[in-house]
Amino acid sequence: MSKLKLYYDVVSPYSWFGVELLMRYKSRWPSVQFELVPFSLGGVMQLSENQPPATNPKKGAQMLKEINFLKGMYDVDIGYPKDFPQLTLHAQRILTALRLQKSDKLEAASKAFWKLYWRDEKSITSKEDLFAYLAPIVGKEHATKLVEVDSQTPQVKQELIRVTKEAVEVHGAFGAPWIVCEREGKEAMAFFGSDKVEAIAYYFGVKYEGPCPPGYKQSKL
């Protein structure tokens, strides 16, 4: 089976776009196995010696314009937080814990954290806010354990470091989202950014129907 591994960080608005767009195709591309992998974008920047676009005034202004445009094109209810960027390490560790637990709530929890920060302008560093957005998805008891205990274990911390290094050192990552695709008989390909879904479809030899394919709203429920 073909494989798609999507590395992301909730500090990145383009990661949100990437996850939204690609997961709309999960049921449409049954020959492709999807895997969501939370990593540390800050760690990627350090390891790849790259600089976040927001640190450059012109790039930051362009990013804001793009987000305001793409939110309509992609049908994603995103804003632009006044306090940007914030440290997402705790959030990414929570998501890493869910991934290690093989939870089917990883996608929903990731989207909830994007909504927390990028739509509702809450604090992604606040335990209270993280719990408030996580509890409706996994339940209050599990949310408390994820926020207070599971995300702080050495295993989770090391796994987040490991996948971040893997993304950079094995797959050449320098930003997010970073999407690694494998198909039998073809050389593996890595794609950067949320605007590569059509290219990814071409790589896998599957049908692409735009960023908002027919029936995608139902698939989100």
**Per-domain boundaries in the chain:** 2-219
Task: Catalytic residue, from 12, 110, 151, 194: name it.
Answer: 12
Q: How many percent of the chain have pLDDT more than 90?
A: 91
Q: Summarize pLDDT for 125-178 with one digit per residue, the tens.
A: 999 999 999 999 999 999 999 999 999 999 999 999 999 999 999 999 999 999
Strands 2-8 and 178-182: antiparallel
| pTM more than 0.85 | yes
Question: Is 188 a residue whose pLDDT tops 70?
Answer: yes
> Is domain 2-219 in CATH 3.60.15.10, yes or no?
no
Residue 219 has, within 13 A of its CA and on its CB side, a CA count of 16
Is 194 an annotated catalytic residue?
Answer: no
Residue 221 has pLDDT above 90, yes or no: no
Asked if pLDDT for residue 189 goes beyond 90, the answer is yes
Please state, in angstroms and as integers, the Cα–Cα distance from residue 113 to each residue in 9, 121, 161, following that order. 10, 10, 20
